[in-house]
A and B are shown apart, each in its own frame.
Chain A
């Protein structure tokens, strides 16, 4: 065992990179679920975002344009889900699963000519002399702009949900769509917008994997991150800052597991590998005791006449 092999600064800095795709995908899904819609298509929207972002970044040479395209791609795909569930009143679980399967297949089709291509590199943010500060510099100030955008987004979502009228309306729709409807709020319009927001966030999260974390395009490369994001929303009991905490926990555990192995620590890696899920289950058990955590109308279909 040689723990000194682990460089704590690089290790902690790795948390941010590992957690960013999760943060984006989960914060989008959190907003969607707070309006009472359960979209299980996160994985599909992420992978579509991954390929859209990758393709546009390669064609234009600009990673930022790529992230923009990823957001649009994810949002467009989520419109399909919005159409199915809000207009056709289809079952949300089935529609979400269909979205994931469709996204995985369609992205493979789109990405055929991009296998083995290298994307343009995203520059890290330049904090000037601040980045020279020992420890703090390399840990917090050595990342690309998307990492910071993710953190800002979480703060924004928290503030909007908590302090603004829009947030209140959004939560009202999620808690009781019939009451919100009776008060004159456009339930379907609000939900559709939320679904598109969720799609855009998932798209950016996916593009972060294909453009920065890996960086390359491979079929099925999101490899289940979307499902972890769904678990993360539940883990966070629909609260933005807990979600942030959870994302570092989930992302950090993967890093920790690999780092410990590299350093030759003999604890069975299976324990660390399964720990995010064990933690989620434990949280679920606690949540089930206080029934208030989940939005009241989550997963229920809204029809104005009923």
Chain B
């Protein structure tokens, strides 16, 4: 599989190299590196929607290029290098695993601006950006805790990285808050996108008693598996996945990157781009909560919406003490909220989650 991806990447890179070269002097060229196919219906789909929004906004003044299904690691470095050589002014690298490659390539092209999603390494010409998905996870956790009958919530993780662990913790905290008996079963798929494996993971969780399945992988396969099984609820991940509403999908986290991509492209055009770290949540609109379907009881829906509003206006933080870490040590004291540094590097479960984070 690596090999095909490598070849696809190489073939596409060559395609880009020989592509239209003509009038790119006036145009701002924006490159996008995607980890999955643009038709995944989830994560990459939303990034591509935002790319299209950039094209629509700026019309002839901008040219966008993208390469999809780029493997994380050295392969992505080659794709980025090729994009930079082809005259890209701004490159968005949209997966955590592109972090070091982005930094490496950025060193070689000081005049090209880079934007890396969900990472934590910045440079003079590398910004990072992410969305506070954990705010959405809090709402999912609340609904999950209220609606589970078996008290087992299944969670399909991709890789054990802070972004995913944060989501698990946030969902767990809010599920436990409304249902002290709830347990999380966590399965790591070690992939962002592999529909067959994601479906298998969902099936295994359901077989082991889960009647709520949360996913942090990119395809809609777990939704399909849950639908097949029946009596299981799920949440759209990264994209609305409304084709699976009203059941199994009862709500969703929607990533809306368009305003950010447009703003950053504008900044490059104006010459005002500076390196920074953007981390926006529900309040700023970067995280959207998909419509809560009628399968959710009205009172639970109202509570979920109230929780959403309090997260949006900042009156409530998803990580508010008192909270303990899994080992029982104090994480946050009464009323204390987690700072962004702790959240960005989160590598522990909160108290109550069983199992260990794989290394």
- Give residues in A with beta carbon < 8 Å to B: 5-7, 10-11, 14, 18, 21, 43, 97, 100-101, 104, 108, 111-112, 115-118, 121, 209, 213-216, 218-225, 227, 254-255, 258-259, 261-264, 266, 268-270, 273
Contacts and interface: CB of A to CB of B under 8 A. Distances in A.
B11 A213 contact: no
Contacts of B187: 258, 261-262
Given A214-B195, A214-B225, A220-B69, A269 B200 contact: no
B311 to A, nearest CB: 29
Contact of B186 (A14, A121, A261, A266): A261
B356 interface: yes
Interface stretch (B203-211, B261-269, B274-282): B203-211
B199 interface: yes
Contacts of A214: 195-196, 199, 221, 224-225
A304 to B, nearest CB: 32
B1 A101 contact: no
12 contacts: A5-B185, A14-B203, A101-B4, A216-B220, A218-B40, A223-B194, A224-B1, A255-B200, A255-B204, A261-B188, A266-B356, A269-B190
Contacts of B11: 101
Contacts of B154: 262
Contacts of B243: 116-118
B354 interface: yes
Contact of A104 (B4, B205, B355): B4
A262 B208 CA distance: 7
Contacts, number: 123
Given A118-B224, A266-B355, A258 B204 contact: yes
Q: Could you tell me the dominant secondary structure of chain A's interface residues?
A: helix
A234 to B, nearest CB: 15
Contacts of B195: 209, 214, 216, 218, 221, 223
Interface in B309-359: 354-356, 358-359
A115 B207 contact: no
B61 interface: no
Given A104-B4, A115-B41, A218-B220, A258 B201 contact: yes
Interface residues of B, number: 48
B200 A254 contact: yes
B3 interface: yes
A262 B355 CA distance: 10
Interface in B34-78: 36-41, 69
B67 to A, nearest CB: 13
Contacts of A100: 4
A172 B204 CA distance: 45
B219 interface: yes
A216 B225 CA distance: 9
A270 B41 CA distance: 28
Contacts of A115: 39, 41
B208 A7 contact: yes
Interface of B: 1, 3-4, 7-8, 11, 36-41, 69, 154, 185-191, 193-197, 199-201, 203-205, 207-209, 219-221, 224-225, 227-228, 243, 354-356, 358-359
A227 B4 contact: yes
Contact of A116 (B41, B194, B355): B41
A254 B193 contact: no
A269 B208 contact: no
A104 B3 CA distance: 13
Contact of B193 (A5, A108, A223): A223
Contact of A97 (B7, B39, B208): B7
A273 B190 contact: yes
B35 to A, nearest CB: 11
Contacts of B203: 14
A119 B192 CA distance: 24
B87 to A, nearest CB: 25
A10 B188 CA distance: 20
A223 B1 contact: yes
A172 B209 CA distance: 53
A259 to B, nearest CB: 5
Nearest to B202: A258
The 7 closest A-B pairs by CB, nearest first: A224-B1, A219-B37, A116-B243, A219-B39, A223-B194, A258-B204, A221-B195
A273 B39 CA distance: 27
B200 A43 contact: no
Given A214-B221, A261-B188, A262-B187, 15 more contacts: A5-B185, A21-B196, A43-B4, A101-B7, A108-B37, A118-B227, A209-B195, A214-B199, A215-B224, A216-B195, A219-B40, A220-B36, A223-B1, A258-B187, A264-B185
Contacts of B41: 115-116, 218
Contacts of B37: 108, 218-220
A264 B355 CA distance: 6
